[in-house]
Amino acid sequence: MKLLRYGPKGQEKPGLLDTQGRVRDLGAVVPDIAGDVLTAEGLAELRAIDPATLPLVEGTPRIGPCVGQVGKFICIGLNYADHAAESGMAVPTEPVVFAKWTSAICGPDDEVEIPRGSARTDWEVELGVVIGTGGRYIDEADAMKHVAGYCVVNDVSEREYQLERGGQWDKGKGCDTFGPIGPWLVTADEVPDPQNLDLWLEVDGHRYQNGNTRTMVFGVKQLVSYLSRFMSLWPGDIISTGTPPGVGLGQKPPKYLVAGQTMRLGIQGLGVQQQRTVQA
């Protein structure tokens, strides 16, 4: 299934994409694409519904973040060896973990704000993993049973704030609009191998990032298991799993975003995002 949320900001309704690519309203079935709806039991109930019986959403509504009521937005740094190299950093021996604030979350095609005073706002296409069944101290062999599905994430980053403002990556990662997610949450049964997905990103039509999730240092099941040692994972938590090379920081000379540019990015089978940059 391809689950989504549509409608004005803060008023999104649950929906799904039917086989013809049309949005169907799930509002009479579930309150949101969130929480227990994402557990194995919740998703099984949705799969039992014939999409043709659901109301068709007319027109082209705004597509919102594909998951609502997110409790934690957990990110993994330097998880592609070639991206670590372009960043001038060592390949990690354990996952590098940081967070985006949930106030950074926005829709896949919403505007991305360049923070006031920023000169180094950057792009990062990433595979997002959405937790379905919560857990703690999850064995790696069982980790995939805890995954509801996957989505596209743009881990927008301000490099000065991240690297030069006291050593806290979170400062440069969690600004408002720095977490576009979606357009869809594609359930895990439709993604047989999350470690073999092409992902890419363009700015103003120029392709900067081309990669594949098979080159991750730590794969999805490793990350789910690892993170569960340090925190309980809850339904709807998002793990953003790192980016392949081609970010602005790694260009020679570096290139960064300014207001008025367009980012377009996608992952094989998970859809495409497009954001216009604006000045905050």
Q: Is residue 62 part of a domain?
A: no
Task: Domain count for the chain, please give it.
Answer: 2
Question: Domain check: are 122 and 198 in the same one?
Answer: yes
Instruction: State which residues form the domain around 8.
Output: 2-53
Residues 121 and 173 in one domain: yes
Report the C-alpha gap between 14 and 46 in whole angstroms: 12
Q: Residues 110, 206: one domain? A: yes
Q: What pLDDT, in 10s, does the model give residues 62-76? A: 999 999 999 999 999
Task: Give residue 85's pLDDT.
Answer: 79
What burial letters (b/e) apply to 104-116, b meaning 16+ CB within 10 Å? bbbbbbbebbbbe
Residues 169 and 93 in one domain: yes
pLDDT of residue 182: 97
Domain membership of residue 65 (yes or no) is no
pTM of this structure = 0.96
Task: Say if residue 127 is in the same domain as residue 262.
Answer: yes
Nearest by Cα to 149 from 184, 180, 185: 185
Q: What is the Cα–Cα distance from 225 to 229, expressed in whole angstroms?
A: 7
Residues 107 and 30 occupy one common structural domain: no
Residue with tokens 């998970």: 270
Facing residues of 262 across strands? Answer: 276
Q: 151 in a domain, yes or no? A: yes
Residues 161 and 227 in one domain: yes
97 within some domain:
yes
- With respect to residue 266, please indicate whether it lies within any of the assigned structural domains: yes
Quick check: is 64 in a domain?
A: no
Query: Around Cβ 192, how many Cβ atoms within 10 Å?
Result: 8
CA 268 to chain centroid: 14
Q: Based on the fold, state whether residues 94 and 30 are members of the same structural domain.
A: no
For residue 189, the model assigns a pLDDT of: 97
Q: What is the pLDDT of residue 91?
A: 85
Residue 68 lies in a domain: no
260 and 227, same structural domain? yes
Question: Among 249, 211, 279, 212, which Cα is nearest to 89's?
Answer: 249
Q: What is the pLDDT of residue 87?
A: 78
Let me know whether 39 and 123 are in one domain.
Answer: no
CATH code of residue 135:
3.90.850.10
Residues 184 and 255 in one domain: yes
> What is the structure's pLDDT at 90?
83
Would you give per-residue pLDDT tens digits along the chain (280 residues)? 999 999 999 999 999 999 999 999 999 999 999 999 999 999 999 999 999 999 999 999 999 999 999 999 999 999 998 787 777 878 889 999 999 999 999 999 999 999 999 999 999 999 999 999 999 999 999 999 999 999 999 999 999 998 888 777 889 999 999 999 999 999 999 999 999 999 999 999 999 999 999 999 999 999 999 999 999 999 999 999 999 999 999 999 999 999 999 999 999 999 999 999 999 9
Are 48 and 86 found together in one domain? Answer: no
